[in-house]
Homo-oligomer: A and B are copies of this chain.
Amino acid sequence: MIKVGIIGAGRIGKVHITSITTRVPDAAIKTVADPFLTEETAAWAKSMGVEKTTKDYHEIIDDPEIDAVLICSSTDTHSPISLEAIRAGKHVFCEKPIDHDVEKIREVIQALEGTGLKYQVGFNRRFDHNFEALQQAVAAGKVGKPEIIKITSRDPEPPGIDYVKVSGGMFLDMTIHDFDMARFLAGCDATEVYVQAANLVDPAIGEAGDVDTAVITLQMENGAIAVIDNCRKAVYGYDQRAEVFGSEGMAAITNDTQSSTVISTGSGVTGEKPLFFFLERYMDAYGKEVAAFIDAIVHDKETPLNVMDGLKPVLMGLAAQKSYEEHRPVKISEIV
């Protein structure tokens, strides 16, 4: 039985608490820490079987009984807490991104070296039933050699401006998931990125120095060309599709809906919109990623998304930002 500590009891922390208690028989949550822990959350955690709650995450880091830590706190704390946890000899599951600063991710990489500790970064979409099946089809050679990879990723609504200002920019905050997906589907890294982006959704986003709409082209190492299209606002819901085209065919996935109901009337033939909320769409994936992390610990094997998988999309995001600013294709190797 793996003893787990969870740092951060916000939206995503609660998802992981629920997953571990209901779906991961090999793990038990000993402690949940959150500096802003409410009594309500503490009570709920207790009802889920969590032993202990605290406002100080050091009670997790310093607890020799705890084997593994899930870092679900704010982005700026991911790398420092990762370092503390690693130095305390704990396996780490860290929400994405590890950091926006490549140097800090490199520190985490160095800290891990030789420890044998497991480190997993939370790119949940790899565990979604659709993306997983798509990747498996590609890896099984169903489409031959990949030539064109297309990823559509549009949020149902933009985040608040306060969040936009500290988000690191759309490429590091939102597209980073798609960068990971491009690597996952292609089965290799990107070598170059070109961005065409604009501020079309909300002028306030532009005033905050960010973009909200983009088409991003990636040259992949295996010769395939990938293209991501992003928008911060799709009125019809959370739009998450992908397509891999290759020498022997094409595999494509589309969105999930609440039901398959289609209504035909004098006005048209209408089906349901894509699920609106990312937690609804990816709830099952969140459960599977945490189960995979615990499984890697229990069976002492590599995590499906290790620390290098955390680094690469950040490099791509920084190259994308540079491409946007300098209006030219940027090699990933330009980012140091």
Contacts and interface: CB of A to CB of B under 8 A. Distances in A.
Interface string A186-212: 000000001011101100000000000
Interface residues of A, number: 73
A270 B270 contact: yes
A137 B261 contact: yes
A196 to B, nearest CB: 5
A69 B229 CA distance: 43
A132 interface: yes
Contacts of A328: 328-329
Given A253-B259, A327-B329, A215 B227 contact: yes
A248 interface: yes
A278 to B, nearest CB: 17
A232 to B, nearest CB: 10
A222 B261 CA distance: 23
A268 interface: yes
A134 interface: yes
Nearest to A133: B259
Contact of A148 (B231, B253, B255): B231
Nearest to A328: B328
Contacts of A327: 329
A268 to B, nearest CB: 4
Interface string A88-108: 000000000000000000000
A145 B260 contact: no
A264 interface: yes
A143 interface: yes
A234 interface: yes
**Number of copies of this chain that the complex holds:** 4
Contact of A234 (B130, B213, B225, B245): B245
A328 B196 CA distance: 12
A336 interface: no
Contacts of A272: 133, 268-269
A273 interface: yes
B196 A196 contact: no
A142 B25 contact: no
A249 interface: yes
20 contacts: A22-B22, A22-B23, A133-B258, A142-B265, A147-B198, A147-B200, A147-B201, A194-B194, A194-B196, A194-B217, A194-B329, A197-B225, A200-B247, A214-B225, A236-B268, A250-B263, A255-B260, A268-B271, A269-B274, A270-B270
Interface of A: 21-23, 25, 47, 129-130, 132-134, 137, 142-145, 147-148, 150, 154, 194, 196-198, 200-201, 213-215, 217, 219, 223-225, 227, 229, 231, 233-237, 239, 245, 247-256, 258-274, 327-329
Given A236-B264, A236-B269, A271-B271, 14 more contacts: A134-B261, A147-B200, A148-B215, A148-B231, A200-B223, A231-B245, A235-B249, A249-B263, A249-B266, A253-B260, A256-B260, A267-B270, A269-B272, A328-B329
